[in-house]
Structure 1
Amino acid sequence: MALSAFTAPGRFWRGNLHTHSDRSDGVLPPQEVCRRYQAEGYDFIALTDHFIGAYGYPITDTTPFRSNNFTTIPGAELHSGAMANGELWHILAVGLPEDFTAPDAPGFHPVAGQESGPEIAARARAAGAFVAIAHPQWSGLTLADARSIDAAHAVEIYNHGCATGCDRADGAHTADLLLSEGRRLSLIATDDAHFSEPDHFGGWVMVKAEANDPELLLDALKRGDFYSSQGPELRGVTLERDAVRVECSAVSTVIVQGHGSAATAQHGASMTGAELPLERLRNSPWLRVTVIDRAGKRAWSNPIWR
């Protein structure tokens, strides 16, 4: 059984799903953000400015910056309600309609009576958005917090802005615990770019679709037809009876992870393929693959359910 990202029709399109402009707390205007991503070889971005009253609840219009070889998906980073640590929720919503009803979220602090994080996430998904739990390590997310966002399609497994700004980039721990509870989630790598520090061009998704079209890309994201990367390419992930077969660009490590401590790895030089036995993962209901290149850059598959 092969992951659908490698069998679905079409080709891979490179995109960033978490970006900010000067419509919220970013440094650059939307047009320049789009120009820079296009110049760096991206096929699409979602500009996800902070959806709070201090910035006028922006869902930034990036349609004027589309071209024949670059497109955009509307979106926002949603905020409403408090997490267990008392701080405001951060929830990524890609494909959010421009008439999405704003919460009572005047700024970056929770206020009494505003809707909860799970409630605004559910509204966003019902409105057609691809919903992700943003930067769980940076947020100080508890497992109970993460469980509560049952509308999420995905978890940020890597956030480049959080890596460069505070060394809290990881979402794997949260994602793996939710997967082990049976949550059918995908994994996204993002920039969370503000362009106020080197927080850009460090993590992206490779989405399989028949055209670089916002609706087709959004549908593929919801199906899980993508993988995430900091540089390495995944070219195939296939679950066989007793092994997982991985095809990729040249890497030095291939890992298969599963429930609890279940994992197995293969190390080598310039490996473009590996076959990893599943003996240590035979009781895991899900598996996922990480590859690491010689420079320490990673790529992550979405989970395979057995």
Structure 2
Amino acid sequence: MQLPPFDTPGRFFRGNLHTHSDMTDGALPPQEVCRRYKAEGYDFIALTDHFVGRWNYPITDTTPYRDENFTTLLGAELHSGAQENGALWHLLAVGLPADFEPSHSPDFQPVLGQETGPEIAERARKAGAFVALAHPQWSGLTMADARSITAAHAVEIYNHESHSFADRGTGMPTLDLLLSEGRRLTLIATDDAHFKAPDAFGGWVMVKARENTPEALLDALKAGLFYSSQGPEIHGIWYENGRVRVKCSAATTVIVQAPGNASTMVTGSSLTEATIALGQLAQSPWLRVTVIDRAGKRAWSNPFWPADLADQANLADQAQASDPDAPPPRP
């Protein structure tokens, strides 16, 4: 069985979901930010300036910079309420309406009478946004913090700026622990670019959609129809007979991860296909795939749940048995 998004109609579009401009603390105007991403081969970006009163709560309008080959998603980095360490929340919200109501967040310090992080995340999701926990390691998120954001669709597992300038760019431990507690979450790699130093073009998502429009991209993000990368490409993932098969660009390592410390891998030179026997990992509640190239760059699949795939296969077998003339399920 080929897994989503690789079995889904459409094509892959490359995008960055976390970027800043001089509307807040970035160095470049929005038009130039969009120009640079387009020049670097991106199909879309979300310009997510800081949603605080210091800059009059901007949801930066990037609609003038869309064209037939490049589009934008409106969004913001939301800040409201205190984490357990006393710092203000950082929450990514992509696909916000332009009239999203401001919170009472005058600056980057928590104040009395403002929404909590969970409350503003819930409000953003209800307004139609794709919501993610931003840079968990850099933010010093505790697991109690992470658990509290029940409106999140995703965890930012790689933040290029936080990695480059603080060596705190991962969110993988947060994601894995939440998955093991039963949360159904996806993972995103982003830049968080401010263009004051080399902090752009280091992490992105590859979204499978029928067209490069804000509506189609946002629907695909919410449905988990994407993978994340620093460079490698994933061309397909199959789950079959206790094995995971992966097709990818040239790699040295392909890993299947499971809860706890469980993982298994294949290594080699210029691997473009790998079949990994799962063994005991086949009983895991969730699995995900990492592809690593010879430069150490990674691509990450979203998690998948083997029990769900077994249920789908059983339903397909039942449908085939009841209607022998029906087309067979997709391989």
TM-score when normalising by structure 2: 0.92
CA RMSD of aligned residues (A): 0.7
Q: What are the Cα deviations for residues 139-170 of structure 1, in whole angstroms up to 9, with x where unaligned?
A: 00001100000000000010001011101011
Q: What are the Cα deviations for residues 58-116 of structure 1, in whole angstroms up to 9, with x where unaligned?
A: 00000000011000000000000000100000000000001111110000110112110
Q: Secondary structure at the match of 1:105?
A: coil
Unaligned 5+ runs, structure 2? 307-331
Q: How does 1:141-220 map to 2 (within 5 A)?
A: 141-220=141-220
Q: What are the Cα deviations for residues 22-74 of structure 1, in whole angstroms up to 9, with x where unaligned?
A: 00100000000000000000000000000000011000000000011000000
Please tell me the residue identity of whatever aligns with 2:169.
A
Q: Secondary structure at the match of 1:239?
A: strand
Q: Which has the larger radius of gyration?
A: 2
CA contact (8 A) 1:81 1:114 kept: yes
CA contact (8 A) 1:262 1:284 kept: no
Alpha-carbon distance in 1 for matches of 2:23, 2:16:
18
Alpha-carbon distance in 2 for matches of 1:265, 1:112:
50
CA deviation after TM superposition for structure 1 residue 203, in Å: 0.2
Q: How does 1:54-65 map to 2 (within 5 A)?
A: 54-65=54-65
Alpha-carbon distance in 2 for matches of 1:219, 1:115:
27
Alpha-carbon distance in 1 for matches of 2:75, 2:115:
19
The runs of at least 4 aligned residues of structure 1 exceeding 3 Å deviation read none
CA deviation after TM superposition for structure 1 residue 3, in Å: 2.1
Alpha-carbon distance in 2 for matches of 1:212, 1:54:
33
Q: How does 1:97-176 map to 2 (within 5 A)?
A: 97-176=97-176
Please tell me the residue identity of whatever aligns with 2:186.
S
CA contact (8 A) 1:76 1:96 kept: yes
Q: What are the Cα deviations for residues 247-270 of structure 1, in whole angstroms up to 9, with x where unaligned?
A: 100000000001111100111000
Please tell me the residue identity of whatever aligns with 2:53.
G
1:271 counterpart residue number: 271
Alpha-carbon distance in 2 for matches of 1:276, 1:4:
18
Alpha-carbon distance in 1 for matches of 2:284, 2:145:
24
Q: Secondary structure at the match of 2:287?
A: strand
Aligned residues: 306
1:3 counterpart residue number: 3
TM-score when normalising by structure 1: 0.99
Alpha-carbon distance in 2 for matches of 1:82, 1:11:
40
Unaligned 5+ runs, structure 1? none
Q: Secondary structure at the match of 2:41?
A: coil
Alpha-carbon distance in 2 for matches of 1:283, 1:5:
23
